[in-house]
Structure 1
Amino acid sequence: MRRRMNRLSVLFLVFLWSLSLVPSPSAAPAPAATELPDPRTMTFPAPAFQPPKPERQVLSNGMILYLLEDHELPLIRMEVIVKTGSIYEPADKISLAGLTGAIMRTGGTKRHSGDEVDEIIDQMAADLSVGIGADAGGAWLDVLKKDFDAGLALFADILMNPVFEEEKLQIAKNNAIEMIRRRNDRPSSIASREFNKQIYGADNPYGREATEETVRSIVRDDLVAFHRKYFVPNNIMIGVTGDFDKKEIIAKIEKAFAGWKKKKIDFPEVPSVVERKDGGVYAIARPITQTQIRIGHLGIKQNNPDFFAVSILDDILGGGGLTSRLFSDVRTQRGLAYSVGSVFRPGNFERGVFIAYGETRVDTTHQAISTILDHIRKIRREPVTDEELKRAKESFLNSFIFSFSSPAQIVSRKMSLEYYGLPSDFLERYRDNVAKVTKEDILRVAKKYLHPDRLVILAVGDDGKFDQPLSSLGKVTQIQLTP
């Protein structure tokens, strides 16, 4: 035992002696220091933008197809755009378009009841939906490749042959009425809805709202007639992306929609929006601690040649998040609002809207509104800085490519361009047009499209506790909410 311990001691001494022969790190020559560039001064070329181009086909019945193969996963996605919308529904039947889209999905077809449709979709682990908005209708199908034939048959059946089961219609009407009864529960919803009515007019299709009476007046025959009028093949575009063969899928689509004949559609005339010649101050009294603010006026259409400069203008003013002027000043510097910003939302068939918005404490309402107004006036008076323009353009150009991260997004964008009558190369020219925007352009469009004298100023809050009366901003009109 003692002899073994002696051997271990000798080995340990040899180990220590060997360590003494190894040069210490401090003795090693220091590597030459490499000076790294300041990341704030580094520049990179814009990422290449060369998205794949979908193929466009027109079937014999007038239906337009956009096709883009993607064999990465065994999935197929179909997106439908229908020229329809709530702008075409009668004034005494507001909600007809939305109910038509909803019950197309839930209310069964000539082959399957609504409950059977649900079961079939669940068995395929598919996703199928239908909806109709203000100026467009849509339907979507996501299905595994192995189930595509069955999914397509069901999809076509829903588009062509909905029966609008009375029971499902009554459920949807009851839900819609309940939403109407509760729509004054959220101050932000009140502000946006009432602001929209002031901009577009309470009787215009873009500004009107449903009531219990308009919903109750809608019957099954109204849905049948609305569907029959607008859901025809020559009024529809279908985009298909995923794991398919082009020739094979065209044949399948033609077979699925066989017998669906084209028909001429007489679209109702939609009254043009009458632009206000002056602004106004509006207050909606609610016993709340946070005031909802909306400030703005009519905007532009997306086909406006100044669309790109206006987009950069909005990014600098309030649309650019943390770096925008409104956020930096109203929230970060002054602490007047948790939520603040602006949106220059372009329209398509009708002009869009410019909105500056905020949510502030009731006792800083006037100060927050005044500060937002000051920034709107200032950006019309003085050029933006080089840094602001550079940051806004880089943000647009660097994020633009992520709008086309999937074939489905690419096809959807291409269909939307055709639907709204925009140039087919709008997206390809987007980055170049943004890159060309100058400080002079920003000042020019700010003076042209921002009108402080026409601003609608709307506040939802406890006006008795405001830091200053809104009357200092102009004559105040009190809006009484309908239940």
Structure 2
Amino acid sequence: MTAHAPAVTVASRAEHVQKIVTPGGVAAWLVESYAVPLVAMEFSLRGGAAQDPVEKPGLATLLAGLLDEGAGPYDARGFHRAVEDLAIHIGFGADRDSISGHLQTLSKNTGKAFELLKLALTDAHLSDADVARVRSQLVAELKRDQNEPDAMASKAFREAAFPNHPYGRPVRGELATIESLARPDLIALRERLFARKDLKIAVVGAIDAKTLSDHLDATFGPLAAQNDLAPTAPITLSNVGARQIVTLDIPQTTIRFGRPGVTKRDPDYFAVVVANHILGGGTFTARLFREVREKRGMAYSVYSQLNEYDQCPMLLGAAATKNERAGEALKIIEEEVRRFAEEGPTGEELDKAKKFLIGSYALRFDTSTKIASQLVHLQQDGFEPSYLDERNGRIAAVGLDDCKRAAKKLLGDGGLLVTMVGRPEGV
């Protein structure tokens, strides 16, 4: 890193984060804030769609969708009425590597909110009727996706990138098997995943540590101490250099592209963040945006982003353009990726990218829910609260040689796995 990086002086965020452990052993990060009478909590349980049985993809998504559809003394309608009457918001979701949940409530209703959350986590009915209803909603979404270009391109990319691996399977399931997902499957998955081990919690708002501790023990204490996760094997994104075309009779081609990335523990990670911003992460300043849209008017949007599953960091990108210009657009994207890998950024590009990344960081903390979400992500990645204060300094410390090295590390020979949906010409 550059020896004499400019200092970045901002008010400490880390000093406001309390790391608490309840009498029952539940760990959480808390930011007390009484500016408004609200409490927001985000949490995650390790093990999401990657834990679905091979023959039952979509099970974790279905489970997450059913947790607030009737629990304890409430049927589905009664549970929704209970949260709505008190302006409480409780929700759940599943991604590749975790099942997540959030809670938001007026501070005066905190006790009731945690009580309802406990019921959803520990006593959700998962009744056959509710399973059939929520499953039918997923079926409708999957049917729409069959002819939706973005969904088709993502599916083709996923299957090519991760053959014979949990990451290659669909998070929301498949039409051919989703009707087989039943209550016993959901109960078995809940018993495997819902545990205090690997539980990450962040709370922001008008609540003190003692009160929060009591609520956390009452809510999460009944969960099993240990989960039972099937190991997800490390994998490197496959088929780099391949192009796959899915024919769809529409006037526009949707493009997905990607290649292996670097982990957040890589010593060049922050330089990689800056490099990606210059390549495709900056909305109007990125090279891909300038070359594909600004100079040639080929696409409304083109971008690249860093994405990190637990077992596979990646660079992912997307664009869409008219069929007759698809080959040309892809050629420009590939050429720009190779050029950036070989030459890296200019000093001006580096300066603008660092200023943007540092200046925009505060926008991740402008609501209680955003703060809680950031804190959970830090815990998932194994970082300490000090990261909140160190991050901008590490971005500022990225020098030109650092960024050039990072671009080469990220992009290698420029090879990309590409999937296209439409009737692309010139490919």
What TM-score do you get using the length of structure 1 for normalisation? 0.81
Q: Indicate the residue corresponding to 1:395 in structure 2.
A: 356
Q: Would the aligned equivalents of 1:76 and 1:142 in 2 still touch at CA under 8 Å?
A: yes
Matches within 5 A, 1:13-412: 48-51=10-13, 52-106=15-69, 108-201=70-163, 203-209=164-170, 210-256=173-219, 260=222, 262-276=224-238, 278-345=240-307, 347-412=308-373
1-side partners of 2:247 and 2:50: how far apart?
A: 30
* Counterpart secondary structure, 1:116: helix
* Counterpart secondary structure, 1:337: coil
1-side partners of 2:298 and 2:72: how far apart?
A: 58
Q: Would the aligned equivalents of 1:294 and 1:358 in 2 still touch at CA under 8 Å?
A: yes
Deviations 1:260-317 (A, max 9, x none): 1643323211133244375212111111111112222122222222111111111111
Deviations 1:147-187 (A, max 9, x none): 22222211111111112122111011112222222212221
How many residues are matched?
A: 419
Structure 2 gaps, min length 5: 1-5
C-alpha deviation, 1:394, in angstroms: 0.5
Q: Which of 446, 450, 467 pairs up with 2:407? A: 446
C-alpha deviation, 1:414, in angstroms: 2.5
Q: Which has the higher contact order (CA 8 A, sep 6+)?
A: 2
Q: Identity of aligned pairs, percent?
A: 25
What TM-score do you get using the length of structure 2 for normalisation? 0.91
Deviations 1:407-448 (A, max 9, x none): 443343233222232354333221111111122122212222
1-side partners of 2:244 and 2:411: how far apart?
A: 19
C-alpha deviation, 1:141, in angstroms: 1.6
Q: Would the aligned equivalents of 1:380 and 1:446 in 2 still touch at CA under 8 Å?
A: yes
2-side partners of 1:257 and 1:393: how far apart?
A: 41
- Change in CA separation of 1:275 and 1:263 when aligned onto 2, cut-off 3 Å: same
* Counterpart secondary structure, 1:300: coil
2-side partners of 1:342 and 1:187: how far apart?
A: 18
Deviations 1:80-119 (A, max 9, x none): 221221111211111110111111111x123222221111
1:457 equivalenced with 2:383 (yes/no): no
C-alpha deviation, 1:348, in angstroms: 4.5
Structure 1 gaps, min length 5: 1-43, 471-483
Q: Would the aligned equivalents of 2:233 and 2:311 in 1 still touch at CA under 8 Å?
A: no
Q: Would the aligned equivalents of 1:317 and 1:342 in 2 still touch at CA under 8 Å?
A: yes
1-side partners of 2:406 and 2:216: how far apart?
A: 46
How well do the aligned residues superpose, as a CA RMSD in angstroms?
2.2
* Counterpart secondary structure, 1:375: helix
2-side partners of 1:269 and 1:137: how far apart?
A: 16
C-alpha deviation, 1:330, in angstroms: 1.4
